[in-house]
Structures are given as structure tokens and as C-alpha cells.
């Protein structure tokens, strides 16, 4: 059974391997919290479509972009005024709210649009505050380049998935999942050791930091293949349309992660 590297896509309806371009047999999926497993929308429920996924993902990204833009402009004024505390508070506050809402969505396996859009708004505050800080330090071009880079990686990986250039197999899934776990452990170790004055060199802008960021960007990019595959399985198995919000949430998480890492990488070259 295949599962996505993105935790938002694990244990979903349609989460098993589905028959399709890669030749896997179909398995039964179940809608969490709705009793017996099933693979299709019930009576009176419309099945999910590609348009549903596109529209819901667009709503999430529009929320992130809108809230993020306003927050970024505000953050720049705060930096110019020398009041950095507010920017730090917005970054931490937005991140904490996003983590809490994201955890609720993931562990309760709920496609609640209010929670998903609330997560997107909180993530917009966090990303906007960070973007405003980087923009104040390095100019407006760095944020634009990060957005273009993120969109470019997303588009390329979508083409890669649709053409079957890289096949999503159980082995590939395990490799990506393990890589994400390894990166997370390294990031956590770097953060903890930093409190004790120990520099691992992963985030200081040096050659090792650049290589590490490139590796993380690569892992995030290949994670899109698993996310696309999971969404594709849900569409094939005709789960209820409301689950498009859950797909949109998972894609938003990966896009936000990729954007932050590209922004960080670009800042190294600016320095």
C-alpha cells in the first residue's frame, strides 16, 4: 500500500494503491469517522473531481498569498521603524496557530473548510512576516524569485508525474519518507545544539548550508509526486467531494515548506 510522505495525506480515503498508469492493483479505502470503509461517495454525495482539487487548492493559496502580502508589508514597516519584536511575534504566533490547526486536521482526518482556511491564514501570517523581514534585508526581488521558484518546481513536478518520468512505487515512497524524517532530525539537532553555541553549519549560509538547502528542496520537490499520486487515487476511487479540502491542505503544507527553503537558499547568495 502506498502512502504519501506528506502526513496530511496518510490514512485518507483512497489512500491505498489504486489501479492506474503505474499498474498497481486497487485496494479499499475508508473515510475516517464514517464507519465501514468505502471507496466511493455515498448516496446524495458528489464524488471528488480534478476541478474540486484545483478550486480548493486555489482558495488555500489565495488565502496564504493575500494574508501573507498584507503581513509582509506590515513587517517591512516594523523593521524600518526598528520594532523587530512585533515581526518575531507574528512569525511565532502564526506558526503556532498553523501547527495546532494542522495537527487537528491531520489527527482528526477532517476536511473541514474552516479549519483548512484558518490554517492557510495562519501560515500566511507566518510566511508574510518572514518574507517581510527578508525583503527589508535583501530587497523585494528575493521574495519574487522565491515565489517564481516555488511555482516552477511545482509545475515541473506535475509534468514529471503526468508523464510518468518518475514512477511512484512503494520503494520510492519509503525513500522519500525516510529522507523527510532524516532532514527533520538534522534540523531539530541543529536547533537544539544552537542553543548551546554549537554550529552544525546547516543554517549559517556556508557551503554546507547551501548543499543542505538544495537537498531539502529536492526532497520537497519529489514529495509532490507522492501528493499528486494520493490525490489521483482519491479521484479514481470517487471519494466525496469534500475531501478536496484535505488534498488542498496537504499541497499547501508542501508548497509552504518549499517556499521557505527556497527563500532561505536565496538569502545565502544575497549574503
Query: Residue-wise pLDDT tens for the chain (271 aa)?
Result: 344 445 554 445 544 433 332 222 333 333 333 332 334 555 567 889 999 999 999 999 999 999 999 999 999 999 888 888 889 899 999 999 999 999 999 999 888 999 999 999 999 999 999 999 999 999 889 999 999 999 999 999 999 999 989 888 899 999 999 999 999 899 889 888 888 888 888 888 888 999 999 999 999 999 999 889 888 988 898 889 999 999 999 999 999 999 999 999 999 998 6
Q: How far is CA 75 from CA 11, 15, 81, 120, in A?
A: 38, 40, 10, 18
Q: Residue 244's pLDDT is what?
A: 92
Long-range contacts of 151-158 (CB under 8 A, 24+ apart): 153/217, 153/220, 153/221, 153/224, 153/258, 153/262, 154/224, 154/255, 154/258, 156/221, 157/221, 157/222, 157/224, 157/225, 157/228, 158/224, 158/228
Q: Residue 15's pLDDT is what?
A: 45
For residue 62, tell me if it sits in a domain: yes
Q: Residue 41's pLDDT is what?
A: 56
Q: Residue 202's pLDDT is what?
A: 84
Count up the domains in the chain and report the number.
Answer: 1
For residue 137, tell me if it sits in a domain: yes
Cα–Cα distance measured from residue 178 to residue 181, given in angstroms and rounded to the nearest whole number: 5
> C-alpha grid cell for residue 70?
498584507
Q: Residue 43's pLDDT is what?
A: 53
Q: Residue 22's pLDDT is what?
A: 26
For residue 116, tell me if it sits in a domain: yes
> C-alpha grid cell for residue 139?
530587497
Nearest Cα neighbor of 137 from 182, 79, 87, 86 is 79
Cα–Cα distance measured from residue 248 to residue 224, given in angstroms and rounded to the nearest whole number: 12
For residue 129, tell me if it sits in a domain: yes
Cα–Cα distance measured from residue 42 to residue 27, given in angstroms and rounded to the nearest whole number: 18
For residue 228, tell me if it sits in a domain: yes
Helix, coil or strand: residue 240? strand
Domain coverage including residue 224: 7-29+50-270
Per the CB < 8 A criterion, the answer to whether 240 and 29 are in contact is: no
For residue 34, tell me if it sits in a domain: no
Cα–Cα distance measured from residue 254 to residue 259, given in angstroms and rounded to the nearest whole number: 9
For residue 141, tell me if it sits in a domain: yes
Q: Residue 40's pLDDT is what?
A: 55
For residue 2, tell me if it sits in a domain: no
Cα–Cα distance measured from residue 181 to residue 200, given in angstroms and rounded to the nearest whole number: 18
Amino acid at each position: 500500500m502506498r502512502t504519501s510522505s506528506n502526513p496530511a495525506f496518510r490514512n485518507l480515503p483512497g489512500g491505498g494503491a489504486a489501479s492506474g498508469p503505474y499498474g498497481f492493483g486497487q485496494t479499499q479505502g475508508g473515510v475516517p469517522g464514517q464507519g465501514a470503509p468505502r471507496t466511493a461517495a455515498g448516496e446524495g454525495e458528489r464524488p471528488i473531481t480534478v476541478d474540486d482539487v484545483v478550486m480548493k487548492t486555489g482558495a488555500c493559496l489565495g488565502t496564504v498569498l493575500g494574508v501573507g502580502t498584507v503581513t509582509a508589508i506590515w513587517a517591512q514597516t516594523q523593521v524600518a521603524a526598528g520594532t523587530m519584536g512585533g515581526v518575531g511575534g507574528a512569525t511565532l504566533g502564526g506558526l503556532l496557530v498553523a501547527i495546532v490547526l494542522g495537527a487537528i486536521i491531520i489527527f482528526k482526518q477532517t476536511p473541514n473548510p474552516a479549519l483548512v482556511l484558518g490554517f492557510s491564514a495562519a501560515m500566511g501570517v507566518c510566511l508574510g512576516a518572514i518574507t517581510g523581514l527578508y525583503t527589508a534585508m535583501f530587497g523585494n526581488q528575493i521574495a519574487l524569485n522565491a515565489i517564481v521558484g516555488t511555482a516552477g518546481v511545482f509545475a515541473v513536478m506535475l509534468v514529471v508525474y503526468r508523464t510518468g518520468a518518475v514512477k511512484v512505487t512503494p520503494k520510492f515512497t519509503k525513500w522519500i519518507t525516510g529522507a523527510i524524517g532524516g532532514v527533520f532530525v538534522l534540523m531539530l539537532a541543529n536547533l537544539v545544539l544552537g542553543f548551546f553555541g554549537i554550529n552544525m553549519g546547516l543554517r549559517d549560509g556556508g557551503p554546507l548550508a547551501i548543499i543542505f538547502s538544495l537537498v531539502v528542496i529536492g526532497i520537497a520537490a519529489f514529495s509532490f509526486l507522492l501528493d499528486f499520486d494520493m490525490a489521483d487515487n482519491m479521484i479514481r476511487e470517487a471519494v466525496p467531494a469534500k475531501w478536496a479540502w484535505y488534498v488542498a491542505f496537504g499541497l499547501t503544507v508542501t508548497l509552504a515548506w518549499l517556499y521557505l527553503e527556497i527563500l532561505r537558499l536565496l538569502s545565502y547568495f544575497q549574503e
